[in-house]
Amino acid sequence: MKQSAQALWLGVTAVLLRRRRPGAEERSSEFPATDEVAARLARAPDSRSVADVLLQHVERLLGVNVTALALVAPDGRSARGCLLRKDGNELDWFREIEFDLEHEPSGIATAVFEGAPFAVFDATASTKVSRRIVDAVGVQSAAYVPLVVQTRIVAVLALGVTGERRAFTTEELNMVDRLGSDVAIALERTRAASELVETLERERRRSEQQRALLRAAQVLSSDLELVHVLERLVSQLAELMHVDAADCYLLDADRRVLRCVAAHGLERDVIGFEFPTDRGLAAVAMREGRAVAADDYEPVADTIPGEAYAGFSGALVAPVRWGDEVQGVLGVGARRERRFGDEDVELIEAYAGLASLALANAQAYDARSRQARIERGFFRIASALGQSLSLEATLDAVAHAANDALGGSFAAVLMPRGPTLELVGSAGVPPPLAERLTVGLPDSAAVLTRAAADGRVLAAADVKDDDRFGAEWIDLARTARYRALLAVPATSPSEEHNGLVLVFFESARTFADEDLELARHLADAARGALERSELFETERTARRLSQQLARTGGVLATELDPAAVLDEVVRHAPGLLAADACAIRIVEDDDLVVSAATGEGAEDAIGTRVQSTARLSGDVYQSRAPLAIDDVAGDERLVAADPVLASGYKAFLGVPLSGPEGSLHGVLTVYAERPRTWRPEEIEALLALAANTSAALTNAELYSRVSIEKERSVAILANIADGIVAVERDGKVVLWNAAAEAITGVPSEEAFGRTPAQVLQRTLESDTSGTQTGPRLVSIMRGNEEVWLSLSEAVMRDPLGEVAGRIFAFRDISADRMVEEVKSDFVAAVSHELRTPLTSIYGFAETLLREDVLFGDEERRIFLRYIASESERLTEIVDQLLNVARLDAGDLTVEPEEIDVASVVSEVVGTVEEADAVNGHRFELDLPSEPLAAEADRAKLRQVFGILVENAIKYSPSGGTVTVGARRTDQGVEVRVADEGAGIPVAEQERIFRKFYRAESTVRDGAGGTGLGLFIARELVTAMGGRLWVESTEGQGSSFAFELPVARRLEGSGNG
């Protein structure tokens, strides 16, 4: 074959060489080396050799240091690297390069699609070249020449330089192009030769495979049934080896026996015959793992307890192996003397191999067939169980899936309910059977209960002939018209014990292995479906319980009456757990007393008492843990211990009602009329409800106590004279009693939620860090009035020692403080006012009494005038004090008469000016020409006006102007005295009319006075039926005005 390939290769080469383009002879004269290159190309055995010849020649011809050849695929859509040389060395990685000519830019792609040579001066900046190749090789300039055979481009030649850039000329490209035609023919020749060799080799291998398959087909039929295949195999083996008998035994590893499955030349009853694996020639073959021959077989046959092998003189046995495991033996025997040689050994081992292959194929076929049947059942099960989510729907789906997959007549799902299994899901179960299963399996079907408990599949081919079932169950089978059943254990995550899936069949039935395997898969699938539905039910139940708990918690949070809390809990608890009754027992004198209950018969138990150590509720109380009983039937002690259970309930669940500081309020219990299993999430929900109940009960009791305390505190705080203010940790007011409102003038509504600094414009907190401070004086503003407080402070702290709040107690001592200040100021002022004239009188008198000095008459008159003036001043002070005393005692007498106010004003001003008491001031009078008749006491009016004029002179700078005016108004006669003094602050404009009060500015400036003048003036004006007020702006002087009633004879006459 190899010689034929070479001959074909030489023929193709000759043809291709004869097809060279015209003009080759001319080029050979022009390039002498071309013929040598063509000869080397003709000898090149493969494409790489062709590429090597081409690249070396181009390097010498054009003086380039980089050359490469890429082979183009026949479809022209891709190319692969063939050879790349740089500086005379081959770069191996280029052979692994693949070019995507349609999607990857490259010089090769451009040359293929343009079908013509082209050059690139700057390869580093060109978009026509492959960046990965240019960067890897470092090419600066490049040229690409397509190699064409009969219009098909078979390769692309690339050449370039890595040093200084170079411009390839057209002549150089044409030269390479002419050389490329020979190279293209050589490449096409090597490709054709290579394809021919590969074709011949494929044909040789295919022929061998076909012969091998033919030999195997002669031995093995297309029948994949294992027994049939082995029977054909041993028959053909016996014929090929010309022996009297042949057989095949398969290994039962679990029982350690060999069992005959096929035989030729032996009695048919040998099929199924078994013998131990340590007997006969088979034991030696299996142990040594090779074919074993026995020329004298009779001693060996004696070790096998079977008559079928008697009379054989020679035998040959080979192990049937699959992988490293022995799966049986294949043997032949001859009754006449015969020696088995190496050829026989090779042949039987070959057939043993075929037997193992047949065994594997048959087993695989059986497995696939069985698996297909099972998978069809699996699919039906999965499709049925993959749709439902709710537990009820899933249980019905399990019944339908089991019935469909196993081909039953109807099916039922039973789950533990107390001591028995009850019907929870069905698919076409007849009513008589459904009614009986609803209340549980009868004792006549106890074998089913045991199968569920053991978690095993139970099959009954014919129930009426199965002594495992009692008469009642057999009668039910007749009534429901079924003969066979298959019981499959069903595990539910929420159940402690297994349930059952029962599939019923109308006819008697023998269950195959695949039925049992399908049943086991059904059990697994049902468990998965139940787990999923349990998760769904758990989530849905948890969501429902949480929503109901939230609603119940919201209701309980609003209840502040302990009895109402208990009533709400017993009303909501049964609905929370789908229970039928509820009771709450509260601890009273070491007894548990039913304080609230709901449910049929449960309300009759209200008021009943049991000791806290009694059963059930007492157990919960003592253990402080939940207690769940699924069914109290059969235990009369439990029923007797709880009057609610005694009224007909079967299931019990109790949880403790925890109180504050580890105490217990009592026990919360719920009841069900039928036995039931309390789910963990239900117990948790009842515990949560108990926690809410305990909290609500504690809050309600605390609220009751706090309400009483609050009423008591409110009564105390409302009647206490001191202001009480409480602030929280953040300093905001939470308590502001009535006394605080009265003292500060701030209503409690405005104070709550704000800090004292925001309310009073000053802080009340002390700088000390102690818990309590002694009284201290602080002042606040009440409107425009300054109020002095005696303030005590108590600091409240939390368990960590941090400030949790403060309580302030204060009372108004402004009056006391003012009295003290006034007394002090009055004593000081009076002392000063009295001392000044007395000092002058005493000084002038002492001077006049001196004997060592002679005074003239004029000097004596001056001294005496001073004494008289100071005595008059002293008399005025005393008169003021007497007037104050009369005003306080109410003894001041006013004698009103009709007087001309303007004349009195003029007289007083004139008197002041004549007395030279103006102190440089200038008077401006603004009086009408007509009389201003008013009803007043002339002397009192002179006194009032005199006080105002004296103050205007005293409290305004020297040289200022004092404006005095009088006019008739709608209400009476108004008199006004205005100065140019410093003015009076707004805060003091009312205080200056108080007794003994002196403005701060007057005290600061050192102006004298007793602080009685304005008090007396206002009182006198008031006594005369008028009013006195001041208008002043700081820095702009003051204006005092008073108004007197008009004379009676002028009342009603208007301003005219």
- pLDDT tens by residue, 799-849: 888 888 888 888 888 777 766 776 666 666 666 666 667 777 777 787 777
Average the pLDDT over each of 178-182, 277-281, 726-730 and give the range with the smallest value: 178-182
Tell which wins on pLDDT, 488 or 845. 488
Kindly report the number of other CB atoms within 10 A of residue 96's CB atom.
8
Instruction: Report whether 181 contacts 157 (CB < 8 A).
Output: no
Instruction: Report whether 793 contacts 777 (CB < 8 A).
Output: no
Instruction: Report whether 258 contacts 329 (CB < 8 A).
Output: yes
Using the Cα atoms of residue 429, residue 435, residue 437 and residue 443 in order, give the sign of their dihedral. Answer: negative
Q: How far apart are CA 654 and CA 667, in angstroms?
A: 7
Query: What region, left, alpha or beta, does residue 900 occupy, with left being phi > 0 and alpha being psi -120 to 50 degrees?
Result: beta
Phi, psi of 75 (to 5 degrees): -80, -5
Exposure b/e, 545-568, CB count within 10 A at least 16 = b: beebbeebbebbeebbebebbbbb
What residues form DSSP beta bridges with 248?
262, 330
Confidence of residue 220 (pLDDT cuts 50, 70, 90): low
Q: Domain 559-704 falls in which CATH fold? A: Beta-Lactamase (3.30.450)
Instruction: Return the closest-CA partner of residue 905 out of 1036, 1042, 1026, 1019.
Output: 1042
Average the pLDDT over each of 233-247, 313-327, 679-693, 907-921 and give the range with the smallest value: 907-921
Q: Which amino acid is at 669?
A: T
Kindly report the number of other CB atoms within 10 A of residue 919's CB atom.
13
Residue ranges matching CATH 3.30.450.20 in the chain: 723-812
Average the pLDDT over each of 22-31, 878-887, 900-909 and give the range with the smallest value: 22-31
What residues form DSSP beta bridges with 814?
none
- pLDDT greater than 70 at residue 550: no
Tell which wins on pLDDT, 17 or 155. 155
Report the Cα 1020 to chain-centroid distance in Å: 82
- pLDDT greater than 60 at residue 1045: yes
Q: How far apart are CA 438 and CA 969, in angstroms?
A: 109
What pLDDT shows up at residue 921?
Answer: 83
What pLDDT shows up at residue 617?
Answer: 86
Domain 893-1050, CATH 3.10.440.10 — does that match?
no
Domain 222-369, CATH 3.40.960.10 — does that match?
no
Q: What are the residues whose beta carbons fall under 8 Å from the beta carbon of 831, sequence distance 6 or more? A: none
Q: Long-range contact list for 605-610, CB < 8 A, 24+ apart?
A: 605/643, 605/644, 605/647, 608/643, 610/585, 610/641
Confidence of residue 916 (pLDDT cuts 50, 70, 90): low
Burial class (CB in 10 A: 0-12, 13-18, 19+), 476: buried
What pLDDT shows up at residue 24?
Answer: 38
What pLDDT shows up at residue 139?
Answer: 92
pTM, full prediction:
0.35
Domain 723-812, CATH 3.30.450.20 — does that match?
yes
What pLDDT shows up at residue 209?
Answer: 35
Confidence of residue 863 (pLDDT cuts 50, 70, 90): confident
Residue indicated by tokens 């117990």: 683
What pLDDT shows up at residue 68?
Answer: 93
- Quick check: helix, strand or coil at residue 501? strand
Residue ranges matching CATH 3.30.450.40 in the chain: 2-198, 222-369, 387-513, 559-704
Q: Which amino acid is at 590?
A: D
Q: How far apart are CA 274 and CA 280, in angstroms?
A: 12
Confidence of residue 31 (pLDDT cuts 50, 70, 90): very low
Q: Which amino acid is at 925?
A: L
Q: How far apart are CA 591 and CA 609, in angstroms?
A: 6
Confidence of residue 210 (pLDDT cuts 50, 70, 90): very low
Q: How far apart are CA 565 and CA 344, in angstroms?
A: 99
Rounded mean pLDDT of 322-334? Answer: 88
Pairing outcome for strands 961-968 and 922-926: parallel
- pLDDT greater than 70 at residue 912: yes
Burial class (CB in 10 A: 0-12, 13-18, 19+), 70: buried
Instruction: Report whether 754 contacts 736 (CB < 8 A).
Output: no
What pLDDT shows up at residue 835?
Answer: 66
What pLDDT shows up at residue 671?
Answer: 92
Confidence of residue 157 (pLDDT cuts 50, 70, 90): very high
Q: How far apart are CA 948 and CA 840, in angstroms?
A: 25
- pLDDT greater than 60 at residue 626: yes
Instruction: Report whether 53 contacts 33 (CB < 8 A).
Output: no
Average the pLDDT over each of 87-101, 357-371, 953-967, 981-995 and give the range with the smallest value: 357-371
- pLDDT greater than 90 at residue 329: yes
Instruction: Return the closest-CA partner of residue 738 out of 715, 756, 717.
Output: 717
Reported residue count of the chain is 1056
* CA–CA distances in Å: residue 107 to residues 61, 98, 122: 21, 13, 13
What pLDDT shows up at residue 583?
Answer: 92
- Quick check: helix, strand or coil at residue 888? helix
Instruction: Return the closest-CA partner of residue 976 out of 900, 1047, 929, 1044.
Output: 1044
What percentage of the chain reaches a pLDDT higher than 70? 81
Tokens of 319: 């192990």
Using the Cα atoms of residue 735, residue 738, residue 740 and residue 741 in order, give the sign of their dihedral. Answer: positive
What distance, in Å, lies between the first and last C-alpha atoms of the chain?
Answer: 158
CATH number of 2-198: 3.30.450.40
Rounded mean pLDDT of 879-885? Answer: 67
What pLDDT shows up at residue 250?
Answer: 92
Confidence of residue 213 (pLDDT cuts 50, 70, 90): very low
Average pLDDT, the chain: 80
Instruction: Report whether 541 contacts 507 (CB < 8 A).
Output: no
- Quick check: helix, strand or coil at residue 74? coil
What pLDDT shows up at residue 505?
Answer: 92
Encode 428-496 in three state secondary structure.
CCCHHHHHHHHCCCCHHHHHHHHHHHHCCCEEECCHHHCCCCCHHHHHHHHHHCCCEEEEEEECCCCCC
Residue ranges matching CATH 3.30.565.10 in the chain: 893-1050
Average the pLDDT over each of 450-464, 783-797, 955-969, 1004-1018 and give the range with the smallest value: 1004-1018
- pLDDT greater than 90 at residue 317: yes
- pLDDT greater than 60 at residue 1: no
What pLDDT shows up at residue 1004?
Answer: 53
Confidence of residue 504 (pLDDT cuts 50, 70, 90): very high
pLDDT, tens digit (0-9, with 9 covering 90-100), for 1028-1039 = 999 988 888 899
* CA–CA distances in Å: residue 624 to residues 596, 611, 643: 20, 15, 21
Q: How far apart are CA 219 and CA 747, in angstroms?
A: 115
Q: What are the residues whose beta carbons fall under 8 Å from the beta carbon of 372, sequence distance 6 or more? A: none
Q: How far apart are CA 903 and CA 966, in angstroms?
A: 10
Tokens of 315: 């035998």
What pLDDT shows up at residue 207?
Answer: 55
What pLDDT shows up at residue 558?
Answer: 66
Strand order in the sheet with 581-588: 609-611, 591-598, 581-588, 664-672, 651-658, 627-629
What percentage of the chain reaches a pLDDT higher than 90? 13
pLDDT, tens digit (0-9, with 9 covering 90-100), for 62-112 = 889 999 999 998 888 899 999 999 998 999 899 888 999 888 889 889 988
Confidence of residue 61 (pLDDT cuts 50, 70, 90): confident
What pLDDT shows up at residue 163?
Answer: 87
Rounded mean pLDDT of 395-410? Answer: 83
Locate the DSSP E strands across 265-373.
Answer: 274-276, 292-294, 314-322, 325-334
What pLDDT shows up at residue 503?
Answer: 92
Confidence of residue 517 (pLDDT cuts 50, 70, 90): confident
What pLDDT shows up at residue 731?
Answer: 87
Q: What is the H or E stretch that residue 161 is in? A: strand 152-161
Q: Domain 387-513 falls in which CATH fold? A: Beta-Lactamase (3.30.450)
What pLDDT shows up at residue 307?
Answer: 80
Q: How far apart are CA 596 and CA 556, in angstroms?
A: 15
Instruction: Return the closest-CA partner of residue 141 out of 31, 65, 213, 44.
Output: 65
- pLDDT greater than 50 at residue 8: no
Confidence of residue 229 (pLDDT cuts 50, 70, 90): confident
